Copies of this chain bind each other. A is one copy, B any other.
């Protein structure tokens, strides 16, 4: 089924203990769309870039079945740029530079043929932009997922609460779930967040896995312990892309299917961090993904 992905398409400069990568292609919608493209072919991207964005990358995405009709290219302007440096533990990072560039005036316009999409993934952007996308959908999609962060809770909580009413699924990390709900216990936080709109809550905990709260039930997806994490950039977006791609490919919204989506998302994220930027995501194949999800099954399975 069709999936609309909304988010940044950008350049990142990344420094990790393993090395440096300068002005490589990144952005939430890039990671999410490529991850999703391993599961579903009808992906419709919404974003904005400057005229500095490499055509080869756009061609690559198109080849993977990602429709770029909704990717606005602003002549004479620059793409969004982020630079960051990860500390030794890879769990914390310093932002060295954020240049909004084209993102400062981003006003998403969905091409007509996007508006009947069944699945929508709203990447981390201002809640106002996320709302603009929701309002352009011609009819209610089967599932709208939204990713956000503490920054929007700090500066735009009223707008965030408005758009949350319109979405079915929210992905945030554990600290953000606590901030949004005012509850420390994630079980209690989930109940508060369900009342804000999203019937499904996915709490991403990085190397500690991810939690799914839905229909009064819980599921704990482990993260795969890895010998090397070269670059954590985009892991959360890759998780979301794998998750939504898997859901869109199967189209069932049962708890059992959401659990599988959690595992496919986790598997994609575990690949993402193996190399810098989107490198590893580009070199994947279905057999490798299926092998990895079986490793997740081994990691979590026990018999009483």
Contacts and interface: CB of A to CB of B under 8 A. Distances in A.
Interface string A197-220: 000000001001101000001111
B209 A220 contact: yes
Given A209-B208, A209-B209, A225-B211, A302 B259 contact: yes
Interface in A173-222: 184-188, 205, 208-209, 211, 217-222
Interface stretch (A45-53, A153-161, A291-299): A291-299
A24 interface: no
A304 interface: yes
B299 A218 contact: yes
A171 to B, nearest CB: 16
Interface in A250-304: 256, 259-260, 262-263, 293-294, 297-304
A20 B197 CA distance: 37
The count of identical subunits is 2
A185 B228 contact: yes
Nearest to A187: B227
A299 B209 contact: no
A256 B304 CA distance: 9
A265 to B, nearest CB: 12
Contacts of A88: 184
A183 to B, nearest CB: 9
Given A184-B88, A209-B222, A222-B222, A294 B302 contact: no
Contact of A220 (B219, B222, B260): B222
Given A211-B225, A227-B187, A304-B260, A299 B90 contact: no
Given A209-B220, A211-B225, 9 more contacts: A88-B184, A187-B227, A188-B227, A220-B225, A220-B300, A222-B300, A256-B303, A260-B304, A294-B304
